[in-house]
């Protein structure tokens, strides 16, 4: 520790020395300029005029032409992303998402940003630009459009997902929805917005370079650095480096888990884990994941096809997402692999995979209803392997824990948490075997959480 501190102090001293060296140079430069001025042969009035003009241009730069960046949501919170960029008479918006209610928001389904400022300034808004199709970036669009109608710019899959929302809210006709490609640049008033190929858990994600009269703002959107992504959707590091070399005014970057050290696993490794779980499995497999994780769905499809299983889908958002992604060519699947959920009775457990929503333990989701025996079409038994292929978003842990508890009570085998770790280190025993093992040592067994109890005694 001491050594580190020493090094740090030394480094700071050097840096200070450099800083003061730079300052001295600046002073010298200024000094030179002042000295040079009297040597010119200009008349005094001309010089005064010039000084006056100089003042004016300074005023214009520092007082009038300011770029304002105003986050109306998404700062110091998870979700509800929306940022205003304002320069002179032009405003553009980046993203328009929802967040989900906190524990104390009883009776609230969705939380949307406060649009008051935008309603007041609606005539100045030149467009809404979307980075990717996650709910916390597109979920508020219909509520926004009901108050302010502006053109929207997004990539193909994102446009597809926004279209579903517009149809639901009957806003399709009046909305100007434009599809852009990764690499395109559009002009919105004094802003030029460049869409840079990015990599995230949903295809077609973009980072933005917002070119303004006072400099370039790089807005990364959500991203995941994955060198071996599915569909080779790597981030355009070249363009980002180029912008970095040219010099940007501001970098706006945020990513869930950014505080964690190390690297996120490549999406491809998750596919390998699915293969290991699927092969030789005699049970019905139920996989819960985010509806928007199209890459994950593709990998479930791949493992299902390789093991001759049919796939049924449960949960409205999952059905909508898979339909849209398949229609636009983002999920590659042979014919007749997907079956209607009503047809699962025609197949044995070994021939089936059910992809479902509810990986966050959301109270009304399909997986939660399955776990509590309230799902009308899927009845969980000891012959189910349930894979929860998503880590809980901060705050959702207890909901997920409850779902896992309920599934294990029924006797289902549950694989959860970080999928690869779980697979490597742990195979869940059927509930019956666990109870037997426990009762061999203790007559009374009690814990507030079934999930923890199960592993204590395994
Ligand atoms: Zn996202």
Does residue 59 fall inside a structural domain?
Answer: no
What is the distance in A from the centroid of ligand 1 to the CA of 201? 7
Statement to judge: residues 291 and 216 lie in one domain: no
Tell me the average pLDDT of the chain. 80
Statement to judge: residues 245 and 349 lie in one domain: no
What is the distance in A from the centroid of ligand 1 to the CA of 74? 12
Do the bridges between strand 82-87 and strand 90-94 make them parallel or antiparallel, or are there none, so unpaired? antiparallel
Question: Which range is most confident: 54-58, 62-66, 372-376, 450-454?
Answer: 372-376
Is the pLDDT at 63 greater than 90, yes or no? no
What is the distance in A from the centroid of ligand 1 to the CA of 439? 45
Is the pLDDT at 297 greater than 50, yes or no? yes
Statement to judge: residues 72 and 216 lie in one domain: yes
Statement to judge: residues 434 and 398 lie in one domain: yes
Statement to judge: residues 357 and 382 lie in one domain: yes
Statement to judge: residues 106 and 237 lie in one domain: yes
What is the distance in A from the centroid of ligand 1 to the CA of 138? 10
Decide: residue 389, CB within 10 A, 0-12 exposed, 13-18 middle, 19+ buried: buried
Statement to judge: residues 153 and 247 lie in one domain: yes
pLDDT in tens, 35-57: 444 444 555 555 555 555 554 55
Statement to judge: residues 416 and 300 lie in one domain: yes
Does residue 234 fall inside a structural domain?
Answer: yes
Alpha-carbon separation of residue 27 from 31, 33, 58 (angstroms): 6, 10, 20
Tell me what the mean pLDDT of segment 76-81 comes to. Answer: 81
What is the distance in A from the centroid of ligand 1 to the CA of 225? 13
pLDDT at residue 231, rounded to an integer: 74
What is the distance in A from the centroid of ligand 1 to the CA of 222? 5
* CB hemisphere CA count around 146 (13 angstroms): 9
Helix (H, G, I), strand (E, B) or coil at 355: strand
Does residue 44 fall inside a structural domain?
Answer: no
pLDDT at residue 104, rounded to an integer: 84
Q: Which residues pair with 153 in a beta bridge?
A: 129, 178
The alpha carbon of 125 is separated from its chain's Cα centroid by a whole number of angstroms, namely 25
C-alpha–C-alpha distance, residues 323 and 330, integer Å: 10
The domain containing residue 278 runs over which residues?
267-456
Is the pLDDT at 447 greater than 90, yes or no? no
C-alpha–C-alpha distance, residues 284 and 349, integer Å: 4
| Domain-ending residue, one of 252, 283, 317 | 252
pLDDT at residue 74, rounded to an integer: 81
pLDDT at residue 48, rounded to an integer: 52
| Domain-ending residue, one of 219, 252, 285 | 252
C-alpha–C-alpha distance, residues 244 and 400, integer Å: 41
User: Count of domains in the chain?
Assistant: 2
Statement to judge: residues 218 and 278 lie in one domain: no
Is the pLDDT at 17 greater than 90, yes or no? no
Statement to judge: residues 227 and 300 lie in one domain: no
C-alpha–C-alpha distance, residues 295 and 250, integer Å: 31
* CB hemisphere CA count around 389 (13 angstroms): 33
Going by pLDDT thresholds of 50, 70 and 90, the confidence category of residue 180 is: very high
Does residue 53 fall inside a structural domain?
Answer: no
| Domain-ending residue, one of 210, 225, 252 | 252
Helix (H) or strand (E) holding 318: helix 316-327
Does residue 9 fall inside a structural domain?
Answer: no
Tell me what the mean pLDDT of segment 350-361 comes to. Answer: 95
Going by pLDDT thresholds of 50, 70 and 90, the confidence category of residue 267 is: confident
Statement to judge: residues 87 and 195 lie in one domain: yes
Statement to judge: residues 151 and 271 lie in one domain: no
Q: Which residues pair with 71 in a beta bridge?
A: 83
Does residue 148 fall inside a structural domain?
Answer: yes
The DSSP annotation for 172-187 comes to: TTT--EEE--TT-EEE
Does residue 93 fall inside a structural domain?
Answer: yes
pLDDT in tens, 398-445: 899 999 999 999 999 999 865 444 332 222 223 333 323 333 343 333
Does residue 262 fall inside a structural domain?
Answer: no
What is the distance in A from the centroid of ligand 1 to the CA of 169? 23
């Amino acid at each position: 520790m001491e050594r580190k501190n020493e090094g740090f102090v030394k480094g700071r001293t050097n840096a200070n020395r450099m800083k003061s060296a730079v300052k001295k140079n600046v002073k010298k430069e200024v000094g030179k300029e002042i000295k040079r001025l009297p040597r010119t042969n200009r008349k005094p009035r001309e010089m005064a005029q010039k000084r006056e003009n100089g003042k004016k241009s300074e005023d214009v730069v520092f007082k009038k032409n300011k770029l304002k960046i105003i986050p109306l949501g998404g700062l110091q919170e998870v979700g509800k992303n929306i940022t205003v960029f304002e320069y002179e008479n032009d405003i553009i918006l980046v993203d328009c998402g929802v967040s989900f209610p906190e524990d104390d928001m009883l009776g609230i389904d969705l939380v949307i940003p406060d649009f008051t400022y935008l309603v007041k300034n609606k005539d100045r808004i030149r467009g809404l630009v979307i980075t990717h199709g996650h709910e916390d970036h597109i979920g508020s669009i219909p509520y926004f459009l009901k108050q302010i109608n502006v053109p929207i710019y997004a990539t193909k899959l994102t446009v597809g997902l926004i279209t579903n929302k517009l149809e639901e809210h009957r806003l399709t006709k009046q909305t100007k929805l434009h599809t852009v490609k990764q690499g395109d640049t559009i002009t919105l008033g004094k802003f030029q917005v460049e869409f840079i190929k990015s990599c995230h858990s949903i295809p077609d994600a973009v980072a933005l370079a917002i070119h303004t009269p006072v400099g370039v703002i790089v807005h990364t959107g959500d991203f995941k650095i994955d060198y071996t992504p599915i569909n080779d959707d790597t981030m355009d590091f070249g363009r980002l480096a180029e912008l970095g070399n040219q010099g940007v005014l501001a970098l706006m970057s945020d990513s869930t888990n950014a505080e964690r050290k190390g690297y996120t696993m490549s999406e491809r490794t998750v596919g390998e884990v699915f293969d290991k779980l699927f092969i030789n499995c005699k049970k019905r497999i139920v996989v819960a994941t985010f509806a928007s994780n199209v890459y994950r769905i593709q990998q479930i499809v791949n493992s299902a096809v390789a093991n001759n299983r049919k796939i049924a889908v449960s949960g409205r958002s999952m059905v909508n997402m898979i339909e849209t992604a398949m229609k636009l060519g983002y999920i590659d699947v042979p014919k007749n692999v997907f079956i209607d959920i009503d047809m699962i009775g025609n197949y044995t457990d070994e021939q089936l995979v059910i992809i479902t929503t509810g990986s966050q333990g959301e109270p009304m989701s399909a997986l939660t209803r399955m776990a509590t025996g309230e799902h009308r079409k899927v009845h969980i038994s000891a012959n189910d392997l349930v894979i929860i292929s998503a880590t809980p978003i901060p705050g959702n842990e207890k909901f997920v824990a409850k779902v896992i508890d309920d599934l294990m009570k029924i006797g289902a085998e549950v694989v959860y948490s970080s999928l690869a770790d779980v697979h490597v280190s742990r195979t869940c025993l059927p509930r019956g075997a666990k109870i037997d093992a426990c009762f061999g040592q203790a007559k009374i067994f009690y814990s507030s959480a079934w999930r923890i109890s199960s592993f204590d005694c395994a």
